[in-house]
Amino acid sequence: MAEKVVTIEDSTITALLGNSKLVEALPGLKTAGAAKAAASSCKPCQAKARAKAVNYSQVKKAIGTLSGEQRKKLKEHLGADKVRVTFKNDAGKMVQLTF
């Protein structure tokens, strides 16, 4: 039987951030998920943009630095044997991490 590998993409992050229990269990997601929205002249649009604004690269980096127990929780939530995430490290180099 083949292993199920889930690749963390923007849509995956959006779904993860929608699960409040998971965000509470993985504090790195909560911190990285709070980002500033782009400016708009329309007040209702500004509110919607703020609510949806997420710095995906920051969230991917936070996922890459999760502890062993937190990684296990994430894999259980995703129903995956392995999780793959690609992000830029502090030196600006692209890192592909599978755990």
Residue ranges of domains in the chain: 5-98
Strand pairing report for 82-88 and 94-98: antiparallel
Q: What are the backbone dihedrals phi and psi of residue 88, each rounded to the nearest 5 degrees, phi first?
A: -90, 130
Q: Give the pLDDT confidence score for residue 5 in this predicted structure.
A: 94
The model's pLDDT over 39-97, given as tens digits with 9 standing for 90+, comes to: 556 777 766 666 566 788 888 998 998 999 999 999 999 999 999 999 998 898 999 99
Buried b (16+ CB within 10 A) or exposed e, 33-52: beeeeeeeeeeeeeeeeeee
* Band of residue 37 on the pLDDT scale cut at 50, 70, 90: very low
Calpha distance 21→8 (Å, rounded): 18
